[in-house]
Amino acid sequence: MGVEKAKLEEKPLRIMRIHFIDIDMLKPHEALDPLELELFIKSMNEKGVFYKPMLVDKNSFVILDGHHRWAALKKMGAKKIPCIFLDYFDEEIKLYTWYPVLNEKLEKILKFFNHKSLSGYEKYLEKYSFVITDGKKYYGLKDRKDIIRYIEKKGYNFEYVDTIETALKETRNGKTAFLRRSLTKKEVIEKASRNEVFSPKTTRHWFPYKYPYLYIKKEEMIS
């Protein structure tokens, strides 16, 4: 499970209606991190309370926030799940990505993949799954189904940062940054509608508000 590093923001609270819907109606767009899933199940069993509603696109039922909460409740036998419906294509909702950073030398990572030396990164993000860099040299990685999972299976652990600028700063500490383009909202909806998912931490959604927590006992969710 990768560690996320992002700037904390103060957001205004927005009260919205909570809908309890059939859990099978929701559509994920990202694969799960098995460890994160198990940790949520453990937390739910220990605390006995469900706090945070799902954030869901009101038109497609695609999950925008809460994949592991959804999967955990489903695994535990819940039939209904609390959701807040949002208009995904509202311009206030932003879609970015996470940038993986690895505490390893660039040359060692290049041994795992077919790659091409590049003159920079900006104009190559559309062409390659990742452009990886040590801050001085840049290489495009040719498509592999899941580059990040492949590296993790080699025993490496990633950090995930929220901007390219932060990722490039990390290279000053001898780390390798993995740069990629952000998806479009249309790509997210289309992928989920085909019952397909992106790799974990491919999307990073930004919402202009924070939403109220719930206090629902586990026994009420799972009966």
Using a 10 angstrom Cβ sphere, with 0-12 exposed, 13-18 middle and 19 or more buried, the burial of residue 135 is: middle
Beta strands at 176-179 and 99-102: parallel, antiparallel or unpaired: antiparallel
The structural domains of the chain, with segments of one domain joined by +, span 3-92+209-221, 98-179
Q: Take residue 58 and report the two structure tokens written for it.
A: 């009101």
Task: Kindly provide the b/e burial profile for residues 48-63, where b requires at least 16 CB atoms within 10 angstroms of the residue's own CB.
Answer: eebeebbbbbeebbbb
Residue-by-residue DSSP string for 168-221: HHHGGGT-EEEE-PPPPHHHHHHHHHTT--BPTTS-EEE-SSB-----EEHHHH
Of 4, 9, 10, 30, the catalytic one is 30
CATH number of 3-92+209-221: 3.90.1530.10
Q: What is the DSSP letter of 62?
A: B
pTM over 0.85: yes
Catalytic site includes residue 38: no
The pLDDT tens digits along the chain (223 residues) read 566 777 778 899 999 999 999 999 999 999 999 999 999 999 999 999 999 999 999 999 999 999 999 999 999 999 999 999 999 999 999 999 999 999 999 999 999 999 999 999 999 999 999 999 999 999 999 866 689 999 999 999 999 999 999 999 999 999 999 999 999 999 999 999 999 999 999 999 999 999 999 999 999 988 7
C-alpha gyration radius of the chain: 19
The half-sphere exposure of 143 on its side-chain side, counting CA atoms within 13 A, is 3
